[in-house]
Structure 1
Amino acid sequence: MIHARTAVVVEDDTDVGDVISSLLDKAGFEVTVARTGADALTVVRDLRPDLVTLDMSLPDIDGVEVCRQIRLVSDCYVIVISGRTGEVDRLIGLEVGADDYLVKPFSMRELQARVAALFRRPRSTEPDIGAASVPVAVAAVAGVGAATMGCGDLSLDRGSREVIVAGAEIDLTRTEFDLLAHLLSNPGVVVPREDLLRAVWATEFVPDSTHVVDVHLANLRRKLRAAAAGNQWIRTIRGVGFRYDPCCA
């Protein structure tokens, strides 16, 4: 049996919330609206949604904290939709676990495109189901093989979406896992930031700069170093991008 995808719209502005809800409803989602951060956290814990759109300026709890708390209980896609336009605000949102950041005012077509792009990325909890399970206006989730990549103390399994470092599994976000998988699939090759944006975010609708890649790569490298007692596999190539060196651990 095919189940509809679920979405939670966290927005205290009734008009904006209704517009987002209508778009997602037409895309095939079952939509629940939360007007406060506290309500959002309760709904996310109860419903385990596939997607959350999150306003950063809520009447009770700051959206950054809401996003951080969501990440403790759910691996759902999170799109921040905020009136905060500064680069620092965007980077903070992405650092605490958001998958994308959209600035108000925004077009419905752009939101639809970003949602579609997210659902083209594999989810760690995604069952092996057909494309018919995806909402009409959202692209199908790409399947991944069971290939294992890595060398020495580093191993990544695309089938189980597990990363093992020095014999222990490390906890990566979906974006960190996808970035590592893409780099490991191109050993010794310098991958430009723009190529990582296209490969991992699967869309041309990406944040205004490539800093989002640096933010997620910095978090990924920190986790790898901590798990492997300082060893490092990913090199920064100044002004270009990043390279996975399989023999530098």
Structure 2
Amino acid sequence: MIDSHCHFDFPPFAGDPESYLAQAGQAGVSHIVIPSVGARNWQPIQTLCARTASPAQPALFYALGMHPYFASEHDADTLNQLESRLKKVSQETGNRCVAVGECGLDFAIPNADRQQQKGWLIRQLELANQFNLPVILHCRKAFPELMQCLKPCPPIRGGVYHAFSGSLQQASQLLDLGIKIGVGGTITYRRANKTRTTMTQLPLDAMLLETDAPDMPLAGYQGEPNQPDRVALVLAALAELRSESLAALAAATSKNAEVLFALPSQT
């Protein structure tokens, strides 16, 4: 399995990465993609992903971007810094930067500067195309505006809409633009009828598994930090909803992530 979205540089993982990586490896997690939130953690996640890992642990990869929730931490120069860093890592041997992100729109933030967020997103979409990378998208209460930004500047390498909880119609709009669907802990809650129903109708090549750890706790684990090994529980919940076997879903979602992020194959 591949956890396509895990903030592994956040607490509690930062204090004991080896233990959590061992748990994830034992659960069958082969790769973890770590999205950044802004300039403050670009270097830490690069350093984390450059570590020498045990063969029994998941391989770590990262994305560079400006998360809209942390808009107060960004300024006009952050985009220039992002472009410079993307250029630098693209020239490095063994580069583990596999996407631009986490980027997007978050209008649930009080007093959100919507125009500023849209401008930053459009520029990050342009950078993704400039450096031939997919995007990792975040969106809260801004789906129409997100589509308005994506349509004039669709990501050439595609992307993933992280933590999807919408309708089949919304998912279809994303798929038409080459954006895959991030399947996370929402589907473990039986009350999430709309999202669970949507997951039964998506094509097999549309889905990636994710935890968003330490956020988005799964049903039964409310109040606890989420963990990357629990991607296995997301997979199990997906298998309950669909006709394919657990093994078939694991293989398909992993292949989808491998292709999107150009990850080394598990086989």
Question: Normalising by the residue count of structure 1, what TM-score does the alignment of the two structures yield?
Answer: 0.32
Specify the structure having the higher radius of gyration (Cα).
1
More strand by share: 1
Which structure would you say has the larger RCO, counting Cα contacts within 8 Å and 6 or more residues apart? 2
